[in-house]
Structure 1
Amino acid sequence: MAAIITTVNVNGVRAATGKGLLEWLAATEADIVCLQETRATDAQTRAALAPALRDWHLANAEPGAKGRAGVAILSRQEPSAVRIGFGSAEFDGSGRYIEADFDGSTVASVYVPSGDAGTPRQDEKYRFLAELGAHLGARTGAMVVAGDWNIAHTERDLKAWKANRKSSGFLPEERAWIDELLANGWVDVVRALHPDVDGPYSWWSYRGRAYDNDTGWRIDALYATADIAVSAESARVERAATYAERWSDHAPVTVGFSALPGLTGSRPSMTLVDSRTS
């Protein structure tokens, strides 16, 4: 049946709930919401989201280091199974990957390290990508992996691409990793639906007038196996109308699927909202 999946980096779940996340959760039509960068323990996350948990099931992977990472999946339907990590000795305890089964489908929330070109942090990012790529390459069955990938794949995916050719997030090695993911049969569903759009961007720096000038990056994405991607029929970035109304430096990215095995929900009637005009 039809289902809607949203991904959003909340930039601290406790801060976000005080700025509008709870109100957004109360209003959204999504069936599943993948959260990244919760920056909170399991107890803190559950306390912050308590008003919403009357309507949502929470699967959570708390950060391994205080104040960093943390991912979660909120779902209307209780998962049949939940797994944290992807079999990595280095990363399974870091709070960067969680996946949940819904009978015929698996949905994962991922937060790829941001990296820093020419430093050990970039080496860490490459190690994470290598292990994640191996995990996804070995997966079978219907699956959606949604999250903050911290990679802009093409020049259409960030406004100031010329100035960022040597920056983490737009390095040739990172972009090649996305190329390989796509070559292995995964589909960037937003880009597949809207191949000729600049953006729609999903992250803007808090510095300067990046938001007002729409100087953003499209680093939040949903990748799906081909059997699910073919049913993706609508996508939008839920960009706040004004800078003051933001509850994160990222905006929710929402995709409607006409069919998702094992999930139930209302058939979406959404249209793309270009981040430059929404």
Structure 2
Amino acid sequence: MRFVSWNVNGLRACVNKGAFLPYFESVDADVFCVQETKLQAGQIQLPIGEAYQQFWNYAERKGYSGTAVFTRIPPLDVRYGFGDGIDPEGRIITLEFPSFYVVTVYTPNAKRDLSRLPYRLEWEDAFRAYLCALDREKPVIACGDLNVAHQEIDIKNAKSNRGNSGFTDEERGKMTELLGAGFVDTFRALHPDVTDKYTWWSNMPRVRERNIGWRIDYFLVSDRLRERILGARIDDHVLGSDHCPVVLEVDLKA
């Protein structure tokens, strides 16, 4: 099965740039997850065909955050937020299938001045607890913009960025805790030493052209799916957003 995750940084903008639909059609995903839709209900009609069911989690604040999942495998159940339906920023969608869960997430940013770091760390603990609870029922595939470059290999200029939002010791430590709780960073599992592969680039001039990036978009899976990973890649040639899509292939049956 093929899973795709993409922070589109505004779905309407990504579509209008002519980027989203050609990629969506070409990648032929079973489940396609999107973050930062920046939409309210009724603001877009995606011509992706009747084969895909669409699930949306809109933020209360207009033009902010938001997630979506497009799946051609009918889910047994769909949950929003941490399973309680309370998610004012539209950050989490969980789809339950017969043999696994899929969770897409847009992790809160700590902000440039780190004013939201305390909230971010609390949120990380809640997210880890949520994934672990799901994992006790059946294996989990979690994906999205986790807003952290975990290791120095995951960022172009590690020394100068240490302590900055997305590369604080605290945020990186929470990622270590999450992996230690029974999850696998699929890209690193298959490509432990690959460098210069990133998923986000600043909008400053020539930054993407020079590949000065961060790897902050991930597919994580339960440890017991490790041997079922067939492929994990970063489609960094795909434009249309300041992030690029990431792709996971797993030997699974729904």
Flag whether TM exceeds 0.5 (same fold): yes
Q: Is the CA contact 1:117–1:166 (under 8 Å) kept in the aligned structure 2? A: no
Displacement after TM superposition at 1:27 (Å): 1.4
* Residue in structure 1 matched with residue 193 of structure 2 by the alignment: 196
Q: Deviations over 1:200-252 (max 9, x none)?
A: 20111121211111000000001110122321121211122xxxx72111111
Distance 1:176 1:88 in 2: 27
- Give the letter for the 2:129 counterpart: A
Distance 1:199 1:228 in 2: 26
- Give the letter for the 2:65 counterpart: A
- Give the letter for the 2:10 counterpart: G
Distance 1:151 1:123 in 2: 15
Q: Of the candidates 242, 247, 254, which is equivalent to residue 240 of structure 2?
A: 247
* Residue in structure 2 matched with residue 273 of structure 1 by the alignment: none
* Residue in structure 2 matched with residue 37 of structure 1 by the alignment: 36
* Residue in structure 2 matched with residue 260 of structure 1 by the alignment: 252
SS at match of 1:120: coil
| 2:63 is equivalent to residue 71 of structure 1 | no
* Residue in structure 1 matched with residue 116 of structure 2 by the alignment: 121
Gaps of 5+ in 1: 263-278
SS at match of 1:233: strand
- Give the letter for the 1:205 counterpart: S
* Residue in structure 1 matched with residue 53 of structure 2 by the alignment: 57
Distance 2:196 2:61 in 1: 32
- Give the letter for the 1:41 counterpart: Q
Label 1:199 to 1:74 Cα distance change in 2 as closer, same or farther (>3 A).
farther
Displacement after TM superposition at 1:54 (Å): 2.7
Q: Of the candidates 134, 151, 155, which is equivalent to residue 148 of structure 2?
A: 151
* Residue in structure 1 matched with residue 79 of structure 2 by the alignment: 83
* Residue in structure 2 matched with residue 16 of structure 1 by the alignment: 14
Question: Would you say how many aligned residue pairs link Structure 1 and Structure 2?
Answer: 251
Q: Of the candidates 211, 222, 233, which is equivalent to residue 236 of structure 1?
A: 233
Q: Is the CA contact 1:186–1:226 (under 8 Å) kept in the aligned structure 2? A: yes
Distance 2:133 2:75 in 1: 22
Q: Of the candidates 130, 144, 164, which is equivalent to residue 125 of structure 2?
A: 130
The farther-off stretch of 119-128 and 28-37 is 119-128
* Residue in structure 2 matched with residue 6 of structure 1 by the alignment: 4
Distance 2:42 2:164 in 1: 36
- Give the letter for the 1:15 counterpart: A
SS at match of 1:58: strand
Q: Deviations over 1:17-58 (max 9, x none)?
A: 11210111121121111100000013224x2x2x11433211
Distance 2:248 2:26 in 1: 16
Displacement after TM superposition at 1:122 (Å): 2.0
CA RMSD in angstroms, aligned pairs only: 1.6
- Give the letter for the 2:243 counterpart: H
SS at match of 1:43: coil
Q: Is the CA contact 2:121–2:174 (under 8 Å) kept in the aligned structure 1? A: no
Label 1:104 to 1:182 Cα distance change in 2 as closer, same or farther (>3 A).
same
* Residue in structure 2 matched with residue 219 of structure 1 by the alignment: 216
SS at match of 2:208: coil
Q: Is the CA contact 2:186–2:221 (under 8 Å) kept in the aligned structure 1? A: yes
Aligned pairs for 1:261-276 (under 5 A) are 261-262=253-254
Distance 2:78 2:84 in 1: 16
SS at match of 1:52: coil
Gaps of 5+ in 2: none
